[in-house]
Amino acid sequence: MSVAARWQAYWHDFETERGRVVALRFLLFGLLAFDLWGLTLEHASRYGAGGFNVAQIGLLDTLLGVPTPAIIAAGWLVGGYFCLRAAFGVAIRASIIGATVCYFGIYLWSQADSYQHHYLVGLLLTLSCFIPESVWAATPPDRDAVEADPAAWERWHRVRHWGLRLIYVQLALMYFWTGVTKADPTWLSGATMDALTTTPSVRAGIAGFEESMGLARGEGYAWAATAVMVGELLAPLAFLFRRLWLPGLLVIPWFHVGVEILEFDIELFSYYMIGLDVILLTPDGIWRQGRAWVHARRQRLRAGRMGPRRWLTARPEAGGPRMVIALVTAAVCGYGASTIPVEGSEMLGGLIGGFTLLALWPAPIIAPRFPVYSAVMQVLIVLTMSGSVMHFESLYDMYRLWGGDLRRRGDIEGAAEKYAIANAAMPGKPARRYQQAQLFERLGRFDEAVPLYEASMQVHRDAVERLTTATHRDPTDAALFFELGEDQLRLADRCQALVRVRQRTGGDVEEMHTCRRTALLGARESADKGLALEPRNRDGFKLRRQIQRETRGR
């Protein structure tokens, strides 16, 4: 075979199990959705701070202008919606393209949150756009087609596309270049790994290894650094040649497991890479065994009662019922997205509703094969988005940081507005009510500051009650006493703030004076009990000094 023919075959004859591709789709896009909603959303406050921006591509500065946190947040929320749609098989290719535009487009628009792994994920998303939906899909052929041609089942389980090969090549290039960057005297000396390793147990383990091997102090890190460099230079071979998949599977994921053990702060990148390594390097034979298990399971389910499955996979032929499904689902999803306490929630709801309608509309090109399943999944995706944003506190952190930035820049009105949205994302929990009330107090809006101070005071009263109960259950835990003292000190501060604003509004202040005195006495008592248990605890001494300053200063 000629070189040209081998080159052609390397790209276009690459064939693998469909189960691998479906697992890749579910992992990559499912993990990215929760990454965007749970972690990345918090970073939106960095974009356009002070009206400044530098794009990855200079032309975008001219075409798009300066990004704002609100636009970036909406882009990431919609991007996560597209990702989870792709993960669960709803309008797969359109969803992948939408996710790529949102994620990679924002990355190219600004360097405010520019890291190498963001670039890698953006490249993988771009490559995924070129893979047809028929390759990504997990829906098996109809039973009639299988009965007419038994070989159709086997052909369906094997997929072939040059884009899949390119994903392997992209990861090989990534590992190779990572190894090249580590061919540096500073890295090979082990100094970088030594500085980044902060966990005492890990440092003790490396010290024990050095002692057992008769190495000098620090040589263990040098050995590890050299091993990492060599491993990353050799890892590309496993991705480029199928015969090396199993050795690569047994070695390469441990690079990223080690990163998590050393507690390097690179967010979810290690999880992306461990998942990609396992899925892409697992030999075909294991996927075939998994396929046989799934097939047997599916046959047993078909033999039993399949009411919910039949309902989800129903395919109404008439356009009218499909239109009703599309319109109702779009309205529900749009409304659900609009209730997320984010600036421009109406726009977000409109975008989500519009994209939902497009994915379900009974047009020949875009109509889903299973409209009921697609409708149900999109409603669940919007509910998951709303729940994830609130559970991970990423939306709260975004507006908290945005409000803090505006406050430092002297925009008191803008900061108060952002703190209000942050507070809405954290009902019943310590948030930025106290800080927002301080801003209203500076603006002379005392009537608006009073309820915020009262809400903040109540939150800390509840915390004091909870921690007091905890100290009664375990009176030997010094950390609990110090935490209780800190909350009592915060409660005293809130009571003092209410004294100030109520004097301005003509309210009763005697109760707040009593509240402050009681809280300070409780804080002093908690600090003393904690220090009696741990006399040399630094947190305890720090808390006692704070109490003394608070008592003398008022």
d(CA 274, CA 266): 13
Quick one: pLDDT at residue 131? 95
Same domain, 85 and 36: yes
User: Roughly how many angstroms between the first and final C-alpha of the chain, as a whole number?
Assistant: 89
Domain CATH number, residue 549: 1.25.40
Sign of the four-CA dihedral 208, 209, 210, 214: positive
Please name which of 36, 65, 34 lies closest in space to residue 48, comparing C-alpha atoms: 65
Per the domain annotation, does 341 fall within a domain?
yes
Same domain, 454 and 349: no
Quick one: pLDDT at residue 142? 65
Kindly report, residue by residue over 210-239, the tens digit of the pLDDT.
788 887 887 888 888 898 899 999 999 999
Q: How deeply is 242 buried, as exposed, middle or buried, from its count of CB atoms within 10 A (0-12, 13-18, 19+)?
A: middle
Count of domains observed in the chain: 4
Quick one: pLDDT at residue 74? 93
Please name which of 239, 243, 317 lies closest in space to residue 279, comparing C-alpha atoms: 239
d(CA 81, CA 74): 11
Same domain, 111 and 235: no
Give Cα 219 to chain centroid, integer Å: 36
Same domain, 387 and 493: no
Picking from 362, 391, 420, the residue at the C-terminal end of a domain is 391
Residue 220 lies in domain: 172-291
Please name which of 395, 542, 515 lies closest in space to residue 460, comparing C-alpha atoms: 515
What phi, psi does 16 have (nearest 5°)? Answer: -150, 175
Same domain, 36 and 118: yes
Averaged pLDDT, groups of 10, the chain, 554 residues long = 87 91 95 93 90 88 89 94 95 95 94 85 95 87 62 76 95 94 88 80 80 80 88 94 93 87 78 94 87 66 52 60 89 94 89 93 77 91 91 88 91 91 78 88 89 88 91 90 91 89 83 89 91 88 86 66
Quick one: pLDDT at residue 245? 94
Per the domain annotation, does 49 fall within a domain?
yes
Per the domain annotation, does 300 fall within a domain?
no
Same domain, 461 and 541: yes
Q: Residue 194 is encoded by which pair of tokens?
A: 């030594």
Per the domain annotation, does 296 fall within a domain?
no
Collapse the DSSP code of 315 into the 3-class scheme (helix H, G, I; strand E, B; otherwise coil) and give the result.
coil
Collapse the DSSP code of 83 into the 3-class scheme (helix H, G, I; strand E, B; otherwise coil) and give the result.
helix
Three-state secondary structure readout of 123-141 = HHHHHHHCCCHHHHCCCCC
Residue 467 makes CB contacts below 8 A (sequence gap 6+) with: 480, 483, 484, 487
Same domain, 198 and 272: yes
Same domain, 14 and 117: yes
**What ranges in 341-445 are assigned the alpha helix state H?**
345-360, 371-391, 394-408, 412-424, 433-442
d(CA 440, CA 446): 6
Same domain, 181 and 126: no
Per the domain annotation, does 208 fall within a domain?
yes
DSSP 100-168: HHHHHHHHHH-STT--HHHHHHHHHHHHHHTS-HHHH--PPPPHHHHHH-THHHHHHHEEE-HHHHHHH
Picking from 291, 318, 349, the residue at the C-terminal end of a domain is 291
Quick one: pLDDT at residue 28? 95
Quick one: pLDDT at residue 196? 77
Q: Residue 16 is encoded by which pair of tokens?
A: 């693998």
Quick one: pLDDT at residue 328? 93
Per the domain annotation, does 209 fall within a domain?
yes
- Say which DSSP state 474 is in: -
Same domain, 50 and 104: yes
Same domain, 18 and 120: yes
Please name which of 94, 162, 174, 163 lies closest in space to residue 127, comparing C-alpha atoms: 163
Per the domain annotation, does 407 fall within a domain?
no
Per the domain annotation, does 332 fall within a domain?
yes
- Helix and strand tally (H, E) in the chain? 29, 2
What phi, psi does 67 have (nearest 5°)? Answer: -70, 155
| Bridge partners for 158 per DSSP | 17
Same domain, 222 and 118: no
Count of CB atoms situated within 10 Å of the CB of 478: 18
Picking from 391, 423, 441, the residue at the C-terminal end of a domain is 391
